[in-house]
Each structure stands twice: as structure tokens, then as C-alpha cells.
């Protein structure tokens, strides 16, 4: 980014960029899928999914009128969002249900910006969201995770050429779409290893709140995320052919 004043930065952030070639869109999707399917890269990148997951809990909690206490992110890529309010009811149900579908929905929002050729805007909106979430983090690892992710996005958006920014933005968006699906399978696998009725996962909490089986909620997460992924593939690839 060559801007030096605040006004120039603001103008450059919200200026449209040229659409990347089709091959870059497809290759970036392949790279994102490889990260989701492999071992060590997934364990590192999964922190981004946790950030989005807990951010979804936090946002819906606030929208439902709950009092947000804070967010903790852990080195095992788990996390917890604490809010105060009624322990049951629609607000609590929506808050708990938001986590597993948020990464995919954030990815869908990214697609809309990319299709409008707002590549730099996508990167800077991501930075602003991470800065907002940083105010809610209540542990050291969480701070490191959010700051590290934000710093990476900032470095790409500020120092690297537009072609690299486009590749990063598309890969990041593809990653959120693909990464929204894998944690749902991990969730069900974890639930199978626990005695019936003792789980503390989002699906088990929803089962206790609604009376619907936890497996049904796992299915709900999976259907939503697969539908968003299919829509993303259509918008980014098939509709352009």
C-alpha cells in the first residue's frame, strides 16, 4: 500500500481492485483445501476457526441482549465465550448455536466482498474485527492468537503487491468455507468418546436447552456449512465458467 495519509489509506482500502485470473481463484482454493486436510498446517490454521467460532458466540450473545464477560482461546484450539443472562430461552439457544456455523458464514461474507472486487476492504475489515475481538480476550494465548492473525493480515495488506493480496484473500476465504466443515466431524467424533449425557460441547448444550438430540444439532451444523460451501463453490468457480 502506497498511501501515506489517513484519507489516502481510507480511499485505497475501499477502492476496487482488478479481478484476479480464474486460475488464481482455483489454485488458492486448492491450497486452502490442502491446509484443512493435512495434519500440522491444520492444527495451526485451526486457531483462525476458533477465533471465528468464539466471535460468533460473542456477537450473537450481544445481539440477544446478553452481557458479554470475555473470550478465552486455548492452545489446543478450543475456546470459551462467557456471557451472563438467562440460562435458557431463545437468546441462549441462538448464542450457543452460532459458533459452528460462523466460520462458514464469515467465508460467505468474504465471497461477497471478493465478487465486488473489494479485496483490500476484505483484509482491513478482517483486521478491524480482530481488533474488536481483542478487547474481549481474557488470556495470554488468546491475545497472541488474535494479534498474530491480525498482524499477518496487516502485513499482507500493507507491504505486498495487489496480486499477492488477492491470492491471500481468496485462500483465506476458501479456507473458512472448507474449515467450517471439518470441525463438525471432529465434534461428533468427540461426542462418541464421551458417556451419554455428559458432554459439554455446543451440540450437547443445545440438546439440554431444546430437548432435541445432540446428533440432530450436529447434523444442523453440517447441513448449513455444506450448503454454504456449495454456494461458495458456485459463486467463485461455477458461475464464472
- Checking if the pLDDT of 1 tops 80, the result is no
pLDDT value of position 10: 63
Instruction: Please tell me the predicted confidence (pLDDT) of residue 156.
Output: 95
99 in any annotated domain: yes
Could you tell me which residues are beta bridge partners of residue 80? 72
Residue 133 lies in a domain: yes
Q: What is the mean pLDDT of residues 53-61?
A: 97
Residue 60 lies in domain: 17-240
Q: Is residue 30 part of a domain?
A: yes
- Residue 210 covered by a domain: yes
Judge contact between 120 and 17, C-beta under 8 A: yes
Alpha-carbon distance of 208 to 4, in angstroms, equals: 54
What's the average model confidence in pLDDT over 49-59? 97
Secondary structure tally for the chain: helices H, strands E: 11, 2
Q: Is 1 part of any domain?
A: no
Phi and psi torsions of 115, nearest 5°: -65, -25
CA distance 41 to 28: 15
Q: Where in the chain does DSSP place strands (E)? A: 67-73, 79-84
With respect to residue 8, please indicate whether it lies within any of the assigned structural domains.
no
Instruction: Write the pLDDT tens digit of every residue in 204-224.
Output: 999 999 999 999 999 999 999
- On whether the CB atoms of residues 117 and 159 are closer than 8 A, the answer is no
pLDDT surpassing 70 at residue 103:
yes
In a domain, 4, yes or no: no
Band of the pLDDT at 140, cuts 50, 70, 90?
Answer: very high
Mean per-residue pLDDT for 74-98?
Answer: 94
Tell me whether residue 11 is in a domain.
no
Number of folded domains in the chain?
1
pLDDT at residue 93 tops 80: yes
215: left (phi over 0), alpha (psi -120 to 50) or beta: alpha
pLDDT level of residue 233 (50, 70, 90 thresholds): very high
The stretch 106-113 carries a mean pLDDT of 96
What pLDDT was estimated at residue 19?
A: 86
Amino acid at each position: 500500500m502506497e498511501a501515506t495519509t489517513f484519507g489516502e489509506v481510507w480511499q485505497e482500502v475501499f477502492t476496487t481492485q482488478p479481478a484476479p485470473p480464474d486460475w488464481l481463484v482455483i489454485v488458492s482454493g486448492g491450497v486452502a483445501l490442502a491446509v484443512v486436510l493435512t495434519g500440522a498446517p491444520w492444527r495451526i490454521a485451526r486457531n483462525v476457526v476458533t477465533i471465528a467460532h468464539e466471535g460468533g458466540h460473542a456477537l450473537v450473545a450481544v445481539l440477544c441482549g446478553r452481557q458479554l464477560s470475555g473470550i478465552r482461546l486455548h492452545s489446543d484450539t478450543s475456546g470459551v465465550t462467557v456471557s451472563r443472562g438467562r440460562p435458557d430461552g431463545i437468546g441462549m439457544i441462538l448464542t450457543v448455536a452460532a459458533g459452528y456455523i460462523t466460520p462458514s458464514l464469515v467465508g460467505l461474507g468474504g465471497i461477497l466482498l471478493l465478487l465486488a472486487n473489494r479485496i483490500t476492504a476484505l483484509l482491513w475489515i478482517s483486521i478491524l474485527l480482530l481488533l474488536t475481538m481483542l478487547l474481549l480476550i481474557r488470556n495470554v494465548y488468546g491475545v497472541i492468537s488474535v494479534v498474530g492473525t491480525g498482524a499477518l493480515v496487516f502485513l499482507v495488506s500493507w507491504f505486498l503487491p495487489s496480486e499477492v493480496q488477492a491470492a491471500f484473500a481468496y485462500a483465506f476465504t476458501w479456507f473458512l468455507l472448507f474449515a467450517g466443515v471439518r470441525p463438525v466431524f471432529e465434534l461428533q467424533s468427540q461426542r462418541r468418546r464421551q458417556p451419554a449425557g455428559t458432554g459439554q460441547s455446543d451440540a450437547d448444550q443445545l440438546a439440554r436447552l431444546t430437548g432435541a438430540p445432540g446428533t440432530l444439532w450436529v447434523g444442523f451444523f453440517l447441513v448449513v456449512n455444506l450448503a454454504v460451501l456449495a454456494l461458495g463453490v458456485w459463486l467463485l468457480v461455477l458461475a464464472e465458467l
